[in-house]
Structure 1
Amino acid sequence: MTSKAVSRSCEDIDEATLSYAEIKAVATGNPLIKEKMEIDNDVQRLKLLKASYDNQRYGLQDNFMIKYPKLIKTATEKLANVREDVKARDKELIDNPEFAITIGKATYTERVDGGTMMLEAISKCKTGETTAIGKFHGFELLVEKNFLDINYMVLRGKTEYKAELSTSPVGSMVKLENLFNGLHENIDFLEKKIEQYQNDLEASKTEYDKPFAYSTELEEKLARQCELNAQLDLENAKAVDADLSGPEEEREADDRMEAAAIVAEDKGAYQADREGRTR
């Protein structure tokens, strides 16, 4: 969930809830109703923001505990391998400075011949596989053919380096030599990547340690929500008691009136009887 999505959700809830609160407040004449609905809306909005904050923290925690340490470890190991390959390349160029490429079991010292035989060997390789076809200055030479019809030459020492193949024999040899001579460029690239990963790791830690910006507001709203719920529950209970006790009180009043009428009637009859006897 993005922050924009959270914001939109909160706005939608806010509009619908406040409208209902106003209607209900007018109908009941109780200002606590409107305040409660507004508080409920604020709490829901803040809880959405808190959920988004928590989700981001989980991602940040994964970054500095798993993702970046793993990337740093992989890049550091590859950097060590590249440095070993650069040393091997430098020694090979001193010991064997002349061009030579081995395709299969044959070695070619001319670029045209070597490129031609390499392309021929590549044409026999299966698509979707990486196949070894020879050697170049002590490094294993492979070809990677994919289903997109884009082929790569691969040099393998302590680690692998690849470049897209050319369709011409000489062009392929030029690309192969450039790949071989440029091995040291991977050192600069990997050193920068490791530095970037370390910076990203520290940034993730810093961001993870930041508290929820609306923590105090959420606590205050929750406390007020509890107070309002308690007050409204008490008022509702009184209203229910009044509704239940109303008919009973009416019945008791009727009973008292009926009893009084009976007493009055008996008293009148008694007086009339007494007067008759006196006469």
Structure 2
Amino acid sequence: RMDLDVEVSRLKLMKADHQSKQYRLEDQLLKHFPEEIEKHKGFIQGLETDMETLAAHPHPTDGFTGMEVRGDTLTDKENAGAALLDACKEVKGSEPVQVGSYRGFAMFVTFDAFQKEYMLQLKGRMTHRTALGADPRGNLTRIDNALSQMPQRLESVKVQLDNLYQQQAAAKEEVGKAFPYEEELRVKNARLVELDMELNMDSRGQSRPEAAISKRARPSVLEGLKRPIPPRSMEKKPRQQEQEAR
């Protein structure tokens, strides 16, 4: 019986795990996958739009398209980089502060107190980030590099979207499947119940041997009362007879 009990418990745990997975699949199909798919579609549209914006604001051949910082349009790289660093000094925390625009994107700066550095955000439909250093011209290179990463980001998001579709399809195949060991669990559980009933019947039908022996060995009070009382002897005790003779 012990082995059967262990086996039934194991199957019940497996069934509970199966049901838990089914609930997760249902939740993913209802919420997770639709939300993530729509979000990634939005990323793709945003990146494609930003790539069009960037293409519409190219650098001239061997030149600089210019940067707007705090209302001033600067066409010299050195001056633009210096003005950007000067604007960063006004930023004290993590709340983005708009400092200008560049190649069709609004520029916002935040200060990372932990890293002790300024972060630049270029915002179109999407946000493109880069850390700023102490070199004015070097910062412009960093900004252009961040913007040039859009095609790679777009491809990465497309791969993620494709993976989501595949995961969604796999979940649809699995959801609703019955527990594969349901019949085995039913048979073994029924046998376990049957054994328990037999054990209970046996335990009720047999009295405890020591209790039976104890009951037989105990003297009956009623029998003691029924026994005849022996007559009292009329003979006097020897000592009493001796005193009377005197």
Q: Which residue of 140, 143, 146 maps to 2:109?
A: 143
Kindly report which structure 2 residues correspond to 1:111-122, keeping only aligned pairs within 5 A, or say none.
111-122=77-88
The equivalent of 2:12 in structure 1 is: 47
Taking structure 1 as reference, are residues 65 and 147 closer, same or farther at Cα in structure 2, changes over 3 Å only? farther
The equivalent of 1:89 in structure 2 is: 54
* 1:64/1:202 contact within 8 Å kept: no
Aligned equivalents of 1:72 and 1:147: distance in 2? Answer: 35
TM-score, with length taken from structure 1: 0.68
Aligned equivalents of 2:177 and 2:130: distance in 1? Answer: 44
Aligned equivalents of 2:172 and 2:129: distance in 1? Answer: 35
* 1:86/1:183 contact within 8 Å kept: yes
Alignment of 1:133 with 2:99, yes or no, is: yes
Aligned equivalents of 2:60 and 2:31: distance in 1? Answer: 44
Aligned equivalents of 1:95 and 1:75: distance in 2? Answer: 33
* 2:58/2:65 contact within 8 Å kept: no
Aligned equivalents of 1:81 and 1:126: distance in 2? Answer: 30
Deviation at 1:73, TM superposition (A): 0.8
Deviation at 1:128, TM superposition (A): 1.9
Q: Which residue of 175, 178, 182 maps to 2:149?
A: 182
The equivalent of 1:107 in structure 2 is: 73
SS of residue matched to 2:6: helix
Whose helix proportion is higher, 1 or 2? 1
Kindly report which structure 2 residues correspond to 1:2-17, keeping only aligned pairs within 5 A, or say none.
none
Which region of structure 1 is more displaced relative to structure 2, 138-147 or 170-179? 138-147
Deviation at 1:172, TM superposition (A): 0.7
Deviation at 1:105, TM superposition (A): 0.9
* 2:67/2:102 contact within 8 Å kept: yes
Alignment of 1:69 with 2:34, yes or no, is: yes
Deviation at 1:156, TM superposition (A): 0.7
TM-score, with length taken from structure 2: 0.76
- Gaps of at least 5 residues in structure 2 are 224-246
Kindly report which structure 2 residues correspond to 1:1-279, keeping only aligned pairs within 5 A, or say none.
36-93=1-58, 98-149=64-115, 150-240=117-207
Deviation at 1:62, TM superposition (A): 2.5
Taking structure 1 as reference, are residues 53 and 167 closer, same or farther at Cα in structure 2, changes over 3 Å only? farther
SS of residue matched to 1:184: helix
- Gaps of at least 5 residues in structure 1 are 1-35, 259-279
Taking structure 1 as reference, are residues 95 and 87 closer, same or farther at Cα in structure 2, changes over 3 Å only? farther
The equivalent of 1:24 in structure 2 is: none
The equivalent of 1:6 in structure 2 is: none
SS of residue matched to 2:48: helix
Q: Which amino acid aligns with 1:40?
A: D
Of the two, which has the highest radius of gyration? 2
Aligned equivalents of 2:178 and 2:134: distance in 1? Answer: 58
RMSD: 3.0
Deviation at 1:94, TM superposition (A): 8.4
Q: Which amino acid aligns with 1:134?
A: G
